[in-house]
Amino acid sequence: MGIVTNTTFVDLNDDNTYYGATSPPDAGFPKTPCAGVWPALGSVVDKEANGIDTIHSASILHNMNDFVVLCSRVSRDNSSRRIADVSGSVFFLRLALIALVIFWFVGFFSLTWNLHLGDVAIPSVSVSQLFHDNRSNGILNISGSRTQKQERPLLPHNLSRIPGKVTATADVRGNLGPASVVIQPVPGSHWLHDRWQAASNMHGQNIPGDHWILLEFHSPILVDSIRLDWETAYASDYRIEGSLERITDVTSSDQVWTLFDSSNPADQAKRTEETTGQSPGVKQKMPLHVIHTIQSISHNNNQQPVRFLRLHILKSATGWGVSLWQFDVIGYWEDQVVL
């Protein structure tokens, strides 16, 4: 057995067994595995395909001038095509490697950026918490060292419209909706069902005496501002009182704080009034809504936390039984604010 190079061979039977051009076919030669793929041994002729192939490796059996190439590995003798195929494969391999490197860098810097965003502490938004507790001592950055979170202002939000976090009661049931309508998450607009009224009949006859609505929160709050949406039967003479205990008798407890007093000129300066709509209960022009907004309540009492908040109505402004659509309390939960 030997190696023959630069010789023309013919595959007479189209079975990948190649015979020397001057050699007759001889099926008696045994078929043995070819050698590894290395430089071409010579040109061969594929009888059936009528094409020219190149032998890359072969086992050569020879006897005198007769030789047979067995189990040879061949390819079409088309150099430009082979080069193009190889070049294309190399190109796509390089492209895949470049894409992999880019993907790795993007992933790495994205992870690094997200971790550092944690230092800024972007606030999460939910029904019960619209701001972040800044009392944390810090977080770990990507290097493992502790860094201080950046401070950012807390935004007050409506605490009285969060279901399950507040309840409302009143001294009288009245003739329209219960006290709970003044803390509806979505304020209603039905003239009879969606407002509380301290009246004894549909003529709006006033129930004698002063009246109150008490809000009880599930945990202490800090009040920033209050918005009272009255009906045309509104009140201007009232106090807003707060306490950590249930307010039963304002004169007997030193733990009740006055957050707003309409008789105090300084408090009056914090209150604005807006009117909208037309009341369907009267023929003359009278508003459907009389909205009182009381600002800067947090400046009173050094931001004293309260859990109970009472609107103490001293007198009706119209002579009718006072009527309230909505009692909005804007502020913070105490445990989410650094005092």
Residues 226, 170: Cα–Cα separation, whole Å: 18
**What pLDDT does residue 110 have?**
58
Output the pLDDT for position 15: 59
The Cα 171–Cα 192 span in angstroms is: 19
pLDDT at 304: 86
pLDDT for the residue 298: 62
What is residue 100's predicted lDDT score, i.e. its pLDDT?
86
Question: Euclidean distance between the first and final Cα of the chain, in Å?
Answer: 97
Cβ-contact 258, 297 below 8 angstroms: no
pTM of the model: 0.56
9: exposed, middle or buried (C-beta count within 10 Å: 0-12, 13-18, 19+)? buried
Element (H, E) at 88: helix 79-120
State how beta strands 306-315 and 237-243 pair. Answer: antiparallel
Q: Contact 294/240 with Cβ under 8 angstroms?
A: yes
Dist CA 325 CA 179 (whole Å): 10
- Going by C-beta distance under 8 Å and a sequence separation of 6 or more, which residues neighbour residue 157? 130, 131, 330, 331, 332
- Judge whether 259 and 301 are in contact, CB under 8 Å: yes
Architecture of domain 157-336: Sandwich (2.60)
Q: Tokens at residue 242, please?
A: 């707060």
Q: In which element (H, E) is residue 66 found?
A: strand 66-76
Q: What are phi and psi of 259, to 5 degrees?
A: -90, -30
What pLDDT score was predicted for residue 289? Answer: 98
pLDDT in tens, the chain (339 residues): 344 444 445 455 555 555 454 333 444 433 333 333 333 344 444 444 444 444 444 444 444 344 444 444 444 444 434 444 445 667 778 888 898 888 777 776 555 444 343 333 333 333 333 333 333 333 333 334 444 444 456 789 999 999 999 999 999 999 999 999 999 999 999 999 999 999 999 999 999 999 999 999 999 999 999 999 999 999 999 999 999 999 876 555 678 999 999 999 999 999 999 999 999 989 999 999 999 999 988 655 557 899 999 999 999 999 999 999 999 999 999 987 755
Q: pLDDT value at position 339? A: 53
Side chain identity at 38, as an amino acid letter? W
Task: Give the DSSP letter string of 5-71.
Answer: -S--EEESSSSS-EEETTS---TTSPP-----S-S--EEEEETTTTEEEEEEEEEEEEETTEEEEEE
Look at residue 330 in the predicted model and tell me its pLDDT: 97
Please state the domain extents for the chain: 9-77, 78-154, 157-336
